Homo-oligomer: A and B are copies of this chain.
Amino acid sequence: MNLNALKKLLVGSPLATAQSRHERLTKTSALAVFSSDALSSVAYATEEILLILVLAGTVAFQYSIPIGVAIAVLIAVVVSSYRQTIRAYPQGGGSYIVTKDNLGTLPGVISGGALLIDYVLTVAVSVAAGVAALTSAVPWLYPYRIVLGVGFVALVTLANLRGIRESGKLFTLPTYLFIFGFAFFILYGLVRWTFGWDAEALAARPANPASQDLTLFLVLRAFASGCAALTGVEAVSDGVPAFKPPEARNARVVLAWLGVILISLFMGITFLARHYGVSPVPEETIVSQLARKIFGEGLVYYALQASTMLILVLAANTAFADFPRLSFFLARDGFLPRQFGSRGDRLVFSNGILILGGTAALLLVVFGGSTHRLIPLYAVGVFLSFTLSQASMVRRWLVRRERGWRWRWWVNAVGAATTGLVVLVITVTKFTHGAWVVVLLIPLLVMMFLAIHRHYADVAGQLSLEGYTMPPPMQHTVLVLVGDLHKGVIHALQYAQTLSPSVKGVYVELDPDRTRRLEEKWIKWSMGVPLVVLSSPYRSLLQPFLEYLNHLLALGDNHMVTIVIPEFVTAHWWQHLLHNQTAFLIKGTLLFRKNVVVTDVPYHLR
């Protein structure tokens, strides 16, 4: 069919199960693969802090450095905490699994739901920020930012439906380009600032008027926005089995590196933004403004913007691996529909990928493709799952009391307490700006998970063969619904005769003259099948038939009735509208009747 050809063109030919292979990553590749999500937030985290502070006027920017330091400390705490998780879960310690393991099902699915939401937001926020990097460099694209965002999402979705198996190769170049590019950018900027080479630029500082008071609440809200920098830090601990052995050790090293790089880049940009006195504007990102001031509008500037855009798209891409994988775990445990548990013919979890892409694109449209408007929804889920995951570790050390558990317990306890506090800060300060959506959505998702789980468990119980005794053989009546006698009906009668020796034709009489004509033909063509004629005083085809059917079904719970309906298959779709109305009506009416099977026997017209 044409649809199949299109799918093949877009998504590629099916891959055999045997083609599934596992790539083992060196530390260098692993850093590239697992850090893009976390590092890419450097592109917007500083800006989001300033966007809140600016509400209290330019003067409030002095708080950006302390807030930056607080976030850097937070990164260090979370990274240390996750290094413990890696040690305990060398087979991969995703928050859902770790939490379910140690705290039980309910905290587990809460963590799962929170993460699913955050993966969707990762895609939306990263793509929005990537588009912002692009439109900062190419301003005439700014009006098309929503279309561009949806286009990026579509592209990444498609790439993932094909299956991106060359992940190491794909990630290495852009990630290291970004890391070294930004390192150079920051160092060069610091040198220029130290020697006062940009004195002129530094002199011309924008003065934004204050629209709000500079309160502790506002500073905390700025901190909460900056916490977006931490999203994606958990990726390494999820992916331990992908490392070359010794897996856990390598993963711990890579995570430490990730922490160091993330802190350096984030603090560097925050420091430069403070001292170059840039102020957020809708049309151009802070990073772009800084790069323009430091490098001028040359090749280096454009290369920096391009690498920013690239790593942001890669970050979005990361969620396309995480979301379907988590959905798979949830489906395997019966919290999501089974469709999420099966791989498509390209070996990827197509349903999860499609749902993630669709929801993220929808978010981009609803929020006008603006990073800033999406941020209040972001990070709530991630920090909730951080907290649950660290709390799980706390409990685990307590229960197992392995060698050296005391100080590990302390690391995780500090991690859990800190991230728990952050959840509170984020939720409270961003609640009215959009966080309420997530606060509402997480319990709704959890309720859905539990309802699905209960349903599957209930069905499994109902279907179980444990202690089941085979019911006695069925009684069976076959009725052929007859409106007229023609080749299609004879075809259906012949078919019905192969089903049962006791077939009956049923005809609803609307006009006695037609009945007489039918009965004359019937004698000749019916192959001995008896004809039941039902009268219909109200011209309803359905009512008399239903009464007859009820009468048959009353014979016993063991009695099945098969209703054979001759149906036309026409050459063109519109011709279908000219036939089969009765068949359609009867199928609709009897869809949920117990002990009734409706069988269409297609008769093919030329």
Contacts and interface: CB of A to CB of B under 8 A. Distances in A.
Given A468-B487, A473-B498, A486-B463, A577 B15 contact: no
Interface stretch (A56-64, A81-89, A201-209, A594-602): A594-602
Contacts of A468: 487, 490
A473 B496 CA distance: 11
A540 interface: yes
B539 A605 contact: no
B474 A494 contact: yes
B602 A539 contact: no
Contacts of A500: 498-499
B465 A15 contact: no
A273 B335 CA distance: 76
Contacts of A596: 602
Most chain B CB neighbours (cut-off 10 Å) among A473, A521, A538: A538
Interface stretch (A170-178, A337-345, A352-360, A425-433): A337-345
Given A17-B537, A338-B578, A465 B521 contact: yes
B465 A525 contact: yes
Given A452-B578, A560-B498, A600-B597, A537 B18 contact: yes
Interface string A478-493: 0000000111101000
Contacts of A597: 495, 599-602
B495 A470 contact: no
A568 interface: yes
- Tallying the copies of this chain within the complex gives 2
Contact of A498 (B14, B16, B476, B605): B476
Contact of A345 (B459, B476, B540): B540
Interface in A446-486: 452, 455-456, 458-459, 462-465, 468, 470-471, 473-474, 476, 485-486
A123 to B, nearest CB: 24
A452 B521 CA distance: 27
A470 B578 contact: no
B495 A459 contact: no
A512 to B, nearest CB: 11
B470 A490 contact: yes
Nearest to A339: B581
A407 interface: no
A569 interface: yes
Contacts of A490: 465, 468, 470
B486 A464 contact: yes
A592 interface: yes
A605 B459 contact: yes
A400 interface: no
A473 B494 contact: yes
A474 B455 contact: no
A403 interface: no
A54 B108 CA distance: 77
A539 B350 CA distance: 13
B476 A463 contact: no
A606 interface: yes
Contact of A577 (B16, B337, B592): B337
Contacts of A487: 462-465, 468
A575 interface: yes
Contacts of A342: 539
Nearest to A334: B578
Interface centre among A490, A498, A540 (most CB of B within 10 A): A498
A577 B448 CA distance: 13
B343 A539 contact: yes
A551 interface: no
Contact of A575 (B338, B455, B464, B575): B455
A22 interface: no
A606 B455 CA distance: 10
A430 to B, nearest CB: 32
- Residue in A470, A485, A499, A570 whose Cβ sees the most chain B Cβ within 10 Å: A499
Contacts of A494: 471, 473-474
Question: Which 6 pairs from chain A and chain B are nearest by CB?
Answer: A463-B486, A14-B538, A476-B498, A16-B537, A463-B487, A499-B499
Interface of A: 14-18, 337-339, 342-345, 347, 452, 455-456, 458-459, 462-465, 468, 470-471, 473-474, 476, 485-488, 490, 494-495, 497-500, 521, 525, 527, 537-540, 560, 562, 568-570, 575, 577-579, 581, 592-594, 596-602, 604-606
22 contacts: A14-B540, A16-B538, A342-B539, A345-B539, A345-B540, A347-B539, A455-B575, A455-B578, A459-B605, A462-B487, A462-B606, A463-B486, A463-B487, A463-B488, A464-B486, A471-B494, A473-B498, A474-B495, A474-B498, A476-B499, A498-B500, A596-B602
Given A14-B538, A17-B539, A599-B599, 15 more contacts: A14-B540, A17-B537, A338-B578, A345-B538, A347-B539, A452-B578, A462-B605, A462-B606, A463-B488, A464-B486, A465-B486, A498-B500, A569-B592, A592-B602, A597-B602
